[in-house]
Structure formats: structure tokens, C-alpha cells
Structure 1
């Protein structure tokens, strides 16, 4: 993800940023509660749609749909 988008999401309260004092430096981003409330429904919908399409394709391939 582009740095500007990560910064905007962090400033918007959708992700939290954790910097680790390691070599090489490491930074981790994690969804906050607000981020999960927005992004997880979209992910579930996309995942569910993908599963339905795969099921329909399998049925068509086996002649039962």
C-alpha cells in the first residue's frame, strides 16, 4: 500500500502503527476497531462472493448447475 494511503488511514484512526527497535527497522500496521468495522464487512462480502462464484463454476463443470 502506498505510504500516503497508510498515513491517511493512520490519521483517520483506521490503522495503528507500531515501530520496533530492531535492525533492520520494522514497522507494523494493524486495523483498529474502527478499521475493522469498516473493512471487515467488505472483506467478508468479497470472500463470500468469491466462494459462491467458485461453487457455481464447480456445479457447471460437473453438469449439475
Structure 2
């Protein structure tokens, strides 16, 4: 991971490390579950808008 993968959540303002849990979901904030829109196709990180996406569901391990 690089520092470029780190970001500040646009919703809650908390810093999020690219090495945080769920590295397959590097655009998701583990604090508030909002995310950045970064993919045109899953995994390509090509979208430049970096818009805010609200969480739509919460999955919890039993």
C-alpha cells in the first residue's frame, strides 16, 4: 500500500489507512461506513469524481 491509498473520510473526517481492515474495500471508512466512488469497473480505481457514497447495508459476523 502507498500513502496515496490513505484518505480522510469526507463524511466523518476520520483518517483511513490503506492498510485498514478490508483492504479489498480500500475506499470504505470503517468508522461511518461511507465510501468514495473510485471504480468505473470493480477494482480499476479509475473514477476521478471521488464522490461520497452512503452505506446501504450493514453486514455483521455472528
- TM-score in terms of structure 1 length: 0.21
Question: When you count helix as a share of all residues, which structure comes out higher?
Answer: 1
Question: When you count strand as a share of all residues, which structure comes out higher?
Answer: 1
- TM-score in terms of structure 2 length: 0.22
Q: Which protein has the larger Cα radius of gyration, Structure 1 or Structure 2?
A: 1
